[in-house]
Amino acid sequence: MKFELLPFLKSMLSVSGISGYEAPIRDVITPVWQELSDRTWVSSHGSYHAIRYGAGTEPRPKVMIAAHMDAIGLMVTGIEAGFLRLTQVGGVDSRILPGQMVTVHGTQRDETVELPAMVVMPPAHLLPKDGQKGPLPQKYLLVDTGLHPAEVERLVRVGDVISFATEPRELSGETISGHTLDNRASVAATTIALDYLSRRKHLWDVIAVATSQEEVGGIGAMGSSFDIMPDFAIVIDVTFAKGPGGGDTVLFDMGKTITITWGSCDHPALYAAMKATADEYEIPLARDFAPSGAGTDAYDIQIAQAGIPVVELGIPLRYMHTPVEVVSIKDIKRAGRLMAEFITDLPLDFMNSVRWE
C-alpha cells in the first residue's frame, strides 16, 4: 500500500475525534501507521503510538514525534423541546457557531448514532436582554437535528459529543480547508516522515505519537512521554498564518515557510541542530516565539519524568479553531521532509551534543 497524502489527509478531516473521544480519528490513522511501522499500541489515555525500530545496536536511542490528533468541539448539556443545548470542548469562539453544520454523536441507544445537525440562534424576541444583539452567548445557542422531539429523546443524551461536519475542500494554490487541520495537518506531516523513513536506513528508534486530549491540556502527551521515555521529542503543531484579522503577534506566510519555535520549552541545542538540517536541505524554516511556555504538547513533554529535551515545529494555518481552517499542502510536505531528514541523519551519539553551554 503506497501512502498518498491528500486522500489520507481528507479522510482524517472527514471524521470527528473530540478530545477524550478520539476513536474515530485513531481508526483512520491506524491502518496507515501500521503499514509504516514495526509495532503500534494505544496509550492509557488513547494516544496512538507507532514505533519504527532503528538499525543501530541496542540499547538504541529513541526519538518521539508528537502530533495531536484530537479536535475541539461541543458537548450536549441539555435537551429542550427537541433542541439541544451545548457547551464547548477545548477553545471555541462562540461567534463561529451560529449556522455551523455539525454531527451529534448520540449514545442513548446501544450503538452510537451520528445525527447530522446544525447550531442555531433563537430569534431575539425569545431571548433576554443580553441576547438581543451582538454575538449570542453560548448558553442561548441550540442544536437542531431536524428530528421530532420524541426521536431526539430516544437517541441523544446529555454528555454526547458534537463535532463539526464541515467537509474538507481543496482551495486554489495547493491549499486545503477543513475542520481539525489543527492538528491533523501535523499528523499528516508525521506520516510523511514515517513514509520517508520506511524507505531509508535510520539508526534511531522512531516513535510517532498521535496524542489525545491536547486541546484540553496536553493530557495524552503527558502519559505518552512517560510511557515512551524518548531521548528527545519533536513536537509538531500548527501556528498562526498571516490572514484577515490576524492580530499583533508574529505571523507567517502560509505556503512559504514552516516554523521552529524559540522559547522556554525548546532546547537550544535541538533548535540549532534542526535549523542546520533545514539549511542543509534548503527547507524554509522561520522562527516562531513562545517565550513563556508553549501552547502545545511541548509544555507537558518537556517536564515528563526527569525532563525531555524538545524541539517544536509549526505549520502556518489560517483561522485556527474554526471549521474552515486553511493550510498549504506544501508546508505539510516541508514539515514531513524536514523531520525525515533530521531523523535519518541522527548519529547514535547525537545526545552528547544536546547540552547546555
Partner 1 sequence: MAKKYSPKMGKKELDLLTRLSNALAVSGDEQEVREIVYAELQEFKDSMHTDAMGNVLVSREGNEPIRPRVMVAAHMDEIGMMLIKEDGDGLFEFVVIGGVDPRQLVGKPVIVGRKHVPGVIGAKAIHLTTKEEREQELKVKSLRIDVGLGGSKLVEIGDRATFDTKLAVLGPSLRGKALDDRLGVFNLIELLKNAPENIDLLAAFTVQEELGLRGAKTAAYHFTSDIGIAMDSTPANDMPHFDGEENTTHNTKLDGGPAIYLMDGATIGDRRLVKWLTDTADAEKIPWQYRQPGRGGTDAGAIHKTRAGVPSVSVSVPQRYLHSAAGLVRIDDELNTLKLMHAALSRLDRSILNPQEIK
Pick the binder of partner 1 from 5, 6, 42, 147 (CB under 8 A).
147
Tell me: does residue 216 bind partner 1 (CB under 8 A).
no
Taking the least distance from each CB to partner 1, the nearer of 137 and 307 is 137
- Which of 1, 123, 292, 349 is close enough to bind partner 1 by CB under 8 A? 123
Relative orientation angle of helices 5-13 and 329-344, to the nearest 10 degrees: 110
Return the residue matching grid coordinates 441576547. Answer: 131
Q: Which of 41, 114, 116, 347 binds partner 1 (CB under 8 A)?
A: 116
**Residue whose CB is less far from partner 1, 31 or 246:** 246
Tell me which residue of 294, 335, 319 sits closest to 240, measured CA to CA. 319
For partner 1, the closer of residues 80 and 280 by Cβ is 80
Q: How far is it, in rounded angstroms, from Cα 135 to Cα 256?
A: 34
- Residue 237: which of 308, 167, 306, 331 has the closest Cα? 331
- How many residues bind partner 1 (CB under 8 A)? The answer is 71
148: which residues sit within 8 A by CB, 6+ positions away? 82
Q: Residue 135 interacts with partner 1 (CB under 8 A)? A: yes
**How far is the C-alpha of 345 from the C-alpha of 204, rounded, in Å?**
9
Q: Min. distance of Cβ 81 from partner 1 in angstroms? A: 5
The secondary structure of 115-159 as a DSSP string is: EEEEEEPPPGGGS-GGGSSSSPPGGG-EEE-SS-HHHHHHH--TT
CB of 184 to partner 1, least distance (A): 16
**Per-residue string for binding with partner 1, 263-302, x by CB under 8 A?**
--------------------------------x-------
In the complex, the smallest distance separating the C-beta of residue 150 from partner 1, rounded to whole angstroms, is 11
Element (DSSP H or E) covering residue 89 = strand 83-89
Minimum distance from CB of 291 to partner 1 (Å)? 15
Asked whether position 93 contacts partner 1 by CB under 8 A, the answer is yes
Q: Which of 49, 267, 321, 334 binds partner 1 (CB under 8 A)?
A: 321
Instruction: Tell me which residues in 238-267 interact with partner 1 (CB under 8 A).
Output: 240, 242-249, 254-255
Q: Least distance to partner 1 from the beta carbon of 284, Å? A: 15
Binding mask 167-206 for partner 1 (x = CB under 8 A): x-xxxxxxx-x-----------------------------
Q: How far is the CB of 126 from partner 1 (least distance, A)?
A: 5
The residue within the footprint of partner 1, chosen from 23, 41, 95, 153 (CB under 8 A), is 95
14: left (phi over 0), alpha (psi -120 to 50) or beta: alpha
Residue 248 has which C-alpha cell? 499583533
Of the candidates 128, 127, 16, 146, which has an alpha carbon nearest to the alpha carbon of residue 84? 146
∠ Cα 281 6 32 (to 5°) = 90
DSSP, collapsed to helix, strand or coil, labels residue 280 as helix
